[in-house]
A and B are shown apart, each in its own frame.
Chain A
């Protein structure tokens, strides 16, 4: 298994997990277990206090003196009032709970919020990265391929965008937009703001690749056999820019994920009760909470893991692009 495939599988697994949040999370992310605020992660046992080994893992309800409650797999969630909820990967019967990453101060299951929040944070990173790369690929190709005043104009604009302090710009733009919007529209505005602020760097990189690619003999040869400019660009120049774009994507997506988390952290992203890793990390600002409740750091740990995975993927892609097109790099 090549490093590219291995790292791609790692990143893919993270997205599969957050996309499967509805099944994988034990609770609805907005459900407040009012009697259990700031509960530590529930311990899942296999051996009971009498030393007996259970085939099915189980939890205790309150303390380890009470009865055991087996963990049921792919079962329906049952509320305290006995009503039957949706099917979950892990479920325990009331009054026991299964909080794999503890609860927050409102008694919401952190693990479920982590999965649902990952949808927002990671999704925003992917969408914003796709937007920035699309703009960057388009403008970079056009600038590199046509040159002249088009190139000069695009590069001047990218200079301007690169010189802007983008984090503060994001804060300012997002702050100027209305705050009380639906989660979907809030996410869309975050994605658009990040994507528009971020196109300059990929555009410059892709322009430089296109500049060298378009002078290759085979591009001239294709032109000499009557290929149109559009065809030259799409068939002969773009593929070379594409591997660079892919590497860029693996660098930009975690960066933009972080950007969404930053905005949410400051309360400018998707608002409560919709979870985002940023809003979750915000709870750690309050020292009286974070000092005694270490599980509140779960989203930060998740962010570190995702960033490292992406970094490894970018590295593998870069290595791969160095050796792949034999003869094209002479």
Chain B
């Protein structure tokens, strides 16, 4: 029996109320993060990754709202907490790192004050010693000359330094979970690597868990222990990072991996046909059906449940239903579970 996970998201559904009704941006999403683990949440733009992050923090703004589900953090359901209790969780126990460090820092406050704000709000420092602690934090995220940088405004820092400041703020109260929403997307490739190194290092130094949201499988491969792949508001596959890369179980994951550079030079990248359906115009069954090269009879009828695809590896795909496999191989003899699109075959 494994110990209780640090965070267990259970059938979380976040909807946006529109004129056409409540549209689910996050649709019955479930996953777990254990202490000290990094979960990579991967998906295209608009797949619901960021809304998932905001839902865990209970920061979804109207017209969005959390409809159903549970977010069990350290044994408590965050969705049942009062606003004041939730404020004590935010920043102190779970903190959030944003994609765009320029807009996530208030342009009119000095960075030292913005670090101090979190410390003071959570009673981790008095106004008097907050400055010294802010300098320590800046030093720990390896900002040069922290004593003078502490008085800088965000516009005086480079993109990478701003993201370091964001990380310093996120780690200031030593949270047990950090949610990093595309932390490197807005940065240069060399800076990306530095920031990822820093995140990994801080993670092991502080023993925290990381929910890393990204659209970049390269980042996931370097950083994550486990991966959850999101498509149109649903998690379609979860598994250990090795298993996902070695033997992706969902045709969408296979398609994503096949569309990444990494094969032989000169080889064409295979893009996934079609485009992501709009929320509210999802097909009735598996949302990937219209683009799926392996679709067969049951796919458009009902959304598939999770099927085991290995140790700790699950996929929402009828290809992995033992009862369906016979039917499927009869219909498409060439494309069995181990499809030729698997990047393993290409490597």
Tell me the A residues contacting B by CB distance below 8 Å.
147-148, 215-218, 220-229, 231, 235-236, 239, 325-328, 330
Contact = CB atoms under 8 A, between A and B. Distances in A.
Contacts of A239: 108
Given A223-B90, A225-B170, A325-B107, 20 more contacts: A215-B61, A217-B100, A217-B103, A217-B104, A218-B104, A220-B98, A221-B105, A221-B169, A223-B59, A224-B59, A224-B90, A224-B95, A225-B118, A225-B169, A226-B89, A226-B121, A235-B117, A326-B107, A327-B103, A327-B107
B60 to A, nearest CB: 10
A226 B103 contact: no
B96 interface: yes
B108 A227 contact: no
B57 interface: yes
Nearest to B115: A225
A148 B100 CA distance: 29
A326 B155 contact: yes
Contact of B98 (A148, A221, A229): A221
Contacts of A228: 84, 87, 121
Nearest to A223: B59
A225 B107 contact: no
Contacts of A326: 107, 155
11 contacts: A215-B61, A216-B103, A217-B100, A223-B90, A224-B57, A225-B95, A225-B118, A225-B169, A227-B117, A327-B103, A330-B103
B62 interface: yes
A215 B118 CA distance: 19
Nearest to A327: B107
B117 A222 contact: yes
Nearest to B181: A224
B106 interface: yes
A215 B154 CA distance: 19
Interface of B: 54, 57, 59, 61-62, 83-84, 87-92, 95-96, 98, 100, 102-108, 117-118, 121-122, 154-155, 166, 169-170, 172-173
B40 to A, nearest CB: 20
A239 B108 CA distance: 9
A223 B86 CA distance: 10
B90 A225 contact: yes
Contacts, number: 78
B106 to A, nearest CB: 4
A147 B64 CA distance: 13
B118 A328 contact: no
Contacts of B89: 226
| For the complex of A and B, 5 pairs with smallest distance between CB atoms | A225-B91, A226-B91, A224-B96, A217-B103, A225-B118
Nearest to A221: B104
Contact of A325 (B54, B108, B122): B108
Nearest to A220: B59
B141 to A, nearest CB: 15
Given A148-B62, A224-B57, A228-B87, A328 B107 contact: yes
Given A147-B62, A215-B61, A328-B108, A226 B122 contact: yes
A239 B96 CA distance: 24
B62 A218 contact: no
A265 to B, nearest CB: 44
A325 B103 CA distance: 12
A326 B154 CA distance: 10
Contact of B91 (A148, A224, A325, A328): A224
B92 A226 contact: yes
Contact of B87 (A148, A215, A227): A227
Contacts of A216: 103
A287 B111 CA distance: 66
Contacts of A148: 62
Nearest to A224: B96
Contacts of B173: 226
B91 A231 contact: no
B103 A225 contact: no
A71 B250 CA distance: 99
Contacts of A221: 96, 98, 104-105, 166, 169
A259 B83 CA distance: 45
A237 to B, nearest CB: 10
A146 to B, nearest CB: 10
Contacts of A218: 103-107
Nearest to B94: A224
Contacts of A231: 121
Given A215-B61, A227-B121, A228-B87, A222 B106 contact: yes
B98 A225 contact: no
Contacts of B154: 327
Nearest to B179: A224
A220 B98 CA distance: 10
B87 A327 contact: no
A225 B104 CA distance: 11
A206 B232 CA distance: 37
A230 to B, nearest CB: 11
A148 B89 CA distance: 25
A98 to B, nearest CB: 52
A239 B113 CA distance: 15
Contacts of B104: 217-218, 220-221
A326 B155 CA distance: 8
A147 B61 CA distance: 10
Nearest to B93: A226
Contacts of B54: 220
Contacts of A235: 117
A223 B170 CA distance: 12
A320 to B, nearest CB: 14
A217 B117 contact: no
Contacts of B166: 221
B117 A225 contact: yes
A330 B173 CA distance: 31
